[in-house]
Chain A
Amino acid sequence: MDIQAMHIPNGFIDGSVSAAFAAIAFAAITFCALRARRDLDERLVPMAGLVAAFIFAVQMLNFWVLPGVSGHLLGGALAALLVGPWVGALCVTVVLAVQALVIADGGVTALGLNVFNMAVLGTAVGYLVITALLRVRVPLFATAVIASVVSVLVAALGFVLEYALGGGGGVSVGAMFAAMSGSHLLIGLGEGLITAMTVTAVARTRPDLVYALRRRPVESSSDGHVAEGAPHVA
């Protein structure tokens, strides 16, 4: 049983573009860390560690999406649902850092690209969709599925952008867009089912541990500033 390396490796994207995205990712994650301080209490510290460990585990579970093509959960929407966008983006970053530095999954010089796509874009977009859907009373299960699909698609588009700026090889940007969005629509659906089952299981036993339910967006003023401050500015 050979588990595939699954994130962007070294060499796919030019060094200068990789460095630029590393700088953007570093700034965004630093901002998340500052905002996360407000959300992190004594209880959330081990829970956030658990969310990171759980995402690491589920990322090993590649599932079938098309003949000869698999996919795995990225985790941005799950993290945003359970621990919120700021701590959530840090959780996904911890997973990507351990994978690049210890497992050799994802290039070390490509870490900024991977963090930008999955931790920053994936979590921010997932959270924006979650708050929008919960506000109009979409059930939690459906919210988790839709947020996952959108989150994964946008993360995949982040890679297409990086490919357009600093990629190379056989195919045009349009063909890369088609290949990435097609497979990641299906990966997003798979991720959506895993995320929805996980979050509803937690919500049934410990609803107080689901950030998205704890912070019901009733007060529109506080909700507005969360969306405004989301780290999706590129």
Chain B
Amino acid sequence: MTAATKPRFAGTATYVAGDDLRLAVNAALTLQRPLLIKGEPGTGKTMLAEEVARVLDMPLFAWHVKSTTKAQQGLYEYDAVSRLRDSQLGEARVADIGNYILRGVLWQAFESPQPAVLLIDEIDKADVEFPNDLLRELDRMEFSVYETRQTVRALHRPLVVITSNNEKDLPDAFLRRCFFHYIRFPDPVAMQAIVDVHFPGLRAELLRNALDTFFAIRELPGLKKKPSTSELLDWLRLLVAEQIPPEALHTRDAEIFVPPLHGALLKNEQDLQLFERLVEMNRRNR
């Protein structure tokens, strides 16, 4: 397998990836190891898997993890209850236990006839033991189904993208097998590039003012939830839809003020109140 025949990821028209992120994705693609992505909420961790799948034309299998998710559910589930019901109704399919094995996301990804992207989203939401329970499956890309004595092996090793919000520490043994990338919050230049990708027609003046306001709000002390990239994009969408003129986002001095539609940026009632109080204080001090 040479570099030329291997698919390579170089960012997409709608997703701006830094050099380091591109390198991490390509490393995971080439060496066929899982890629663990961490970062602030709203920096596009989940988007990454979707974009990679889209641009490399690979099917995407997403497994959204919840606090009650067990590792086994990603492999398969034995639906014993419906088997019980069928047995009481005297159905013929009861005899074959295979009829009651439900395929999990991992199984589906393993069976995909072409190389696939497997997204394990928010792995930190699950129990602490969850990553450990998947070690062997992700390493060997195979598992056995106890009920039917069958072994499922991946036809092609899928590209595994795992995201985490840092709510729990992941076990060392798990980390050692992954590539790791931390998506930092974009700086103003990168942010400009991201916005350009999403709103190619946006007027430069409006955009500059909006970005200034956005970063000023992020700098405010004491905010519980700082606005993130996805909130900025929503806000811009609103600004454009409402046809807000650039002057509305402009102040003569570098003071903070209440920008129009700021509810899209601050989503926490306490934050909104804090923000309005700060603005009020600023006005009085002038």
Query: Is B truly associated with A?
Result: no
